[in-house]
Amino acid sequence: MSNPRILILGAPGAGKGTQSRRLVEEFGVEHVTTGDALRANKGMDISHLDLEYDTPGEYMDAGELVPDEVVNEIVKTALEEADGFVLDGYPRNESQTEYLDSITDLDVVLYLDVDDDELVRRLTGRRVCEDCGATFHVDFDPPEEEGVCDECGGDLYQREDDTEETARERINVYEENTAPVVEYFRDEGVLEEIDGEQTPDEVWADVKAAVEANAN
Ligand code: ADP
Ligand code: ADP
Ligand code: ZN
């Protein structure tokens, strides 16, 4: 029996990263996240593609999508190497959805549903561990000691794109480009819709049940 192939959808701040960490622990899958992969390659030279900007970081700091050519390649390599995965942050538009369909089969498609105002509160209060990537929130999930990771003792930082202005821009980009991706999977009849405004533990109970029902 192989590990499940899970896709997790939701707007920026919906809780995808938080739930993905639990999926990794529970089901032994790999966390494939385009956001983290791109942050690790913010300065990569993509000038040969002759697009608007010459590095992924410039798109990210503006809250815009990094070009498909760059992201598709990252995902293809990561999925080929993974024995079961939770894919987080991809696909974000129709063309990425078609590409994903051509390279893999999914067992479960989860969708975390969260309201816009709640998304902004979550994004602007988010803090991330620079060593292990664990995510906290200054009000909703504060670490025991301010600025220090509970899991590994690393320093917590605020992402450059988690300002209110860029958060709102990312939510707009999401509505325009990524909401149709959710519709696509809903029309296919495979979308597991989860109320993402519950507590993290309650969301996790629903996420775990949906994966167990679909992956066998
Ligand atoms: P969040 O978890 O808050 O949704 P991410 O870490 O997933 O944010 O993404 C941060 C930024 O990385 C995005 O605003 C975008 O610029 C870029 N990015 C991530 N995934 C993709 C993708 N699939 N396609 C294009 N750009 C992406
Ligand atoms: P995404 O990966 O979808 O952008 P994250 O998992 O990074 O979202 O969560 C965004 C912020 O919201 C983080 O600060 C996280 O601690 C917090 N958060 C996650 N899930 C919940 C929840 N169910 N209720 C309240 N805050 C949450
Ligand atoms: Zn840490």
Tell me if 185 CB under 6 Å of ligand 1: no
Pairing of strands 5-9, 108-113: parallel
User: What was the pLDDT predicted at 1?
Assistant: 56
- Name the residue with the closest Cα to ligand 2, atom 4: 13
**3-class SS at 5?**
strand
Closest CA to 8 of 142, 178, 216, 133: 178
Catalytic residue, chosen from 5, 21, 122, 126, is 126
- For residue 35, report the distance from its CA to the centre of ligand 1, in Å: 4
User: What was the pLDDT predicted at 216?
Assistant: 66
Contact criterion met (CB below 8 Å) for 101 and 94:
no
- Residue 127 annotated in active site: no
| Alpha carbon distance 187, 181 (integer Å) | 10
The ligand placed nearest to the CA atom of residue 202 is: 2
In this structure, what are the phi and psi dihedrals at residue 15, rounded to the nearest 5 degrees? 115, 20
Catalytic residue, chosen from 159, 168, 186, 208, is 159
User: What was the pLDDT predicted at 86?
Assistant: 98
Kindly give the number of the ligand 2 atom that is closest to the alpha carbon of 125: 14
Scored b (16 or more CB within 10 A) or e, 181-215 reads bbebbeeeeebbbbebeeeeeebbebbeebbeebb
Instruction: Give pLDDT tens digits along the chain (216 positions).
Output: 589 999 999 999 999 999 999 999 999 999 999 999 999 999 999 999 889 999 999 999 999 999 999 999 999 999 999 999 999 999 999 999 999 999 999 999 999 999 999 999 999 999 999 999 999 999 999 999 999 999 999 999 999 999 999 999 999 999 999 999 999 999 999 999 999 999 999 999 999 999 999 986
Look up the pTM and report it. Answer: 0.95
